[in-house]
Amino acid sequence: MRARVATAWLGGCSGCHMSFLDLDERLLDLARRMDLVYSPIVDSKEFPDGVDVALVEGAVANEDHVALARRIRERTRVLVAFGDCAVTGNVTAIRNALGGALPVLERAYCDPADLHAGIPAEPGILPRLLDRVLPLHQVVRVDVWLPGCPPSADVIGEALEALLAGRAPDLAGKVRFG
């Protein structure tokens, strides 16, 4: 039976997905054995039921990320923290040093001359930021850790091969942070 595989993008730069695409012709071989049922690189809007393996890139930085991470967990058998941002928070969590969501919004979106007037409310346009960026395992249970910024295509390929064969990937000595 063909495996149902998904990839998702939370608070990350898409570099981990770029590394996934670096599998190049190996993607053709994988495509014979799996269906990519949800991903930023396919036209799917809703995370489906019955996913065998989900690679989740990025840290959890806003309320939409929390909701998607929980939906993925409910509907996925093997959830992979895909890349350093998912594993530790990494680059996305640098903003934690500012101490909360408000100073981040002020720094990013407000004209300094308007700061005294507060943050303009735009309900429904931007998801509400969390005060702290969280690694994925602090929001949902994670089954497999795939560090790297980004993980190399070789490591992604080896992990997928193992997971499609029903094995836990043995990546000892093959992965590193950064």
- Positions touching ligand SF4 (CB under 6 A) are 12-13, 15-16, 57-58, 83-85, 90-91, 149-150
Tokens of 121: 């409310």
> Is the CB of 4 or the CB of 65 nearer to ligand SF4?
65
Using Cβ positions, the residue closest to ligand SF4 within the complex turns out to be: 15
CB 86, min distance to ligand SF4, A: 7
CB of 12 to ligand SF4, least distance (A): 3
User: Shortest distance, CB of residue 111 to ligand SF4, whole angstroms?
Assistant: 28
If the CB atoms of residues 52 and 57 are measured against ligand SF4, the closer one turns out to be 57
Q: Which is nearer to ligand SF4, 3 or 59 (CB)?
A: 59
Q: For residues 79 and 149, which CB has a smaller minimum distance to ligand SF4 in the complex?
A: 149
Cβ contacts of 16 within 8 Å, gap of 6 or more:
55, 57, 58, 82, 83, 85, 86, 148, 150, 151
Cβ 169 to ligand SF4 shortest distance, Å: 18
Beta strands at 60-62 and 129-134: parallel, antiparallel or unpaired: antiparallel
Burial of 118 from C-beta contacts in 10 A (0-12 / 13-18 / 19+): exposed
CA separation (Å) from 157 to 4, 125, 142, 174?
Answer: 16, 37, 19, 12
